[in-house]
Amino acid sequence: MLVANSPEQTIQASSETTTMKAMVCSKYGPPEVLELQDIEKPSPDDDQVLIRICAASVNAGDWHLMRADPCLVRLAFGLFKPKHKVLGADIAGRVEAVGKNIKQFREGDEVFGDISEYGFGAFAEYTCVNEDALILKPVSMSFKQAAAIPSAAVTALQGLRDNGEIQHGQKVLINGASGGVGSFAVQIAKSFCADVTAVCSTRKLEKVRKTGADQIIDYSLNDFTRNDQSYDLIFAVNGYHCISDYERSLSPQGIYVTSGGSMAQLFQAMLLGPLLSRKGGKKLGNFLVKPNKKDLQFIADLFEAGKVLPVIDRCYPLSEVANAIRYLEGGNAHGKVVITMGE
């Protein structure tokens, strides 16, 4: 005779499940290489937190790792196949269990963070991560908003504040203002009381205007490097100008910082930037973002103060991570693309 499980038994069985859904990348290639699989659910060690992921977000780094593009990616992340089978850096979710050495969090806490320094793993139902990657999610912030923040917003903050040395009242230009990093960069620059010029495409003009830019340049109609305007700080999140064009658009003591764009643009900033910087008072270069809790908390405080609001373009379920990456890779997104886990 079959006996139906009680609700209490069902809940207990669910909590003790040993597998989870995850989008697995077993080989390098296009989005089609990603497969939704049942894999082992992780268990936290003494210094880890087990997170039930409610939302994640897609970044350019995900498709670079997926495709091993540029090929130098293979040196750090696996020569012949990906060392990290589950991609994704940005997570938001609930603490389900904690190791015995964890002091900052407890079961049930709502948290978010960038887990890229701990092996990635955001495109899954659960992950285990060091508590240093996480901060508490503000009550007023949704899981989708929280997942959109870590990589993009911290990149924008460090580019503008730490590398760009942004100051009150400066003229700041954001090239690539409509993307994930760019949409945060416009808002963060405004929080520093800068005069912000945003550069984007025609179809994204109105959306970028809503992020608070003082002036907007449609790059299909106007080339800002040839309009006789100078800027105290240029933050190039995207774009394909050569470094001499950016130098020409800087004020005498201006700073140019890039965190994206073509590989040629990045290499120019890395190799030619220091040489051009020696010629006068201008500074030109690029940087690598360094995830940290202090900067993530800074962004959370700006959110609670109403100065920064994540711009979310589209949401996809976990089963459609490939489509989400394809959409982002195609340059279509305005703001962030978010992955949801059913909540």
Higher pLDDT, 70 or 320: 320
Q: What is the mean pLDDT of the chain?
A: 90
Give me the half-sphere count of Cα atoms (radius 13 Å) on the Cβ side of residue 206: 1
pLDDT of residue 268: 73
The whole-number average pLDDT for the span 93-118 is: 97
d(C-alpha 92, C-alpha 11), whole Å:
23
Average pLDDT over residues 226-242: 89
Q: What's the average model confidence in pLDDT over 105-109?
A: 97
Q: For residues 278 and 333, give the distance between their C-alpha atoms in angstroms, rounded to a whole number.
A: 37
Measured CA to CA, the distance from residue 174 to residue 155 in angstroms comes to 13
Task: Dump pLDDT digits (tens) for 114-149.
Answer: 999 999 999 999 999 999 999 999 999 999 999 999
More confident call, 14 vs 91: 91
Domain boundaries, the chain: 18-149+310-340, 151-286
pLDDT score, position 273: 63
pLDDT at 13 over 60: no
Tell me the per-residue pLDDT of 206-218, one tens digit each, with 9 for 90 and over. Answer: 999 999 999 999 9
The pLDDT assigned to 325 comes to: 97
Is the pLDDT assigned to residue 316 strictly greater than 70? yes
Name which residue leads in pLDDT, 263 or 304.
Answer: 304
Domain spanning 18-149+310-340: CATH 3.20.20.10: no
Give the per-residue pLDDT at 261: 66
Q: Which CATH architecture has domain 151-286?
A: 3-Layer(aba) Sandwich (3.40)
Q: Give me the pLDDT at residue 284, please.
A: 87
> For the residues 149-170, what does the mean pLDDT come to?
97
Say what the pLDDT of residue 281 is: 84
Q: Which residue has the higher pLDDT, 57 or 5?
A: 57
CA proximity to 56, closest of 173, 146, 129: 146
Q: Token pair 């711009």 is at which residue?
A: 311
Do 37 and 82 touch, CB atoms closer than 8 A? Answer: no
pLDDT of residue 267: 67
pLDDT exceeds 90 at position 154 = yes
Confidence check: pLDDT of 10 > 50: no
Output the CA torsion sign for 46, 146, 108, 341.
negative
What is this structure's pTM? 0.91
Report the pLDDT value the prediction gives residue 8, as an integer from 0 to 100. Answer: 44
Above 50 in pLDDT, residue 2? no
Instruction: Write the DSSP assignment of 256-302 as a string of letters.
Output: EEES-S-HHHHHHHHHTHHHHHTTSS-EEEE------HHHHHHHHHH
pLDDT at 315 over 50: yes
**Whole-number percent of the chain with pLDDT over 70:** 90
Query: Using CA atoms, how far apart are residues 114 and 199, in angstroms rounded to an integer?
Result: 27
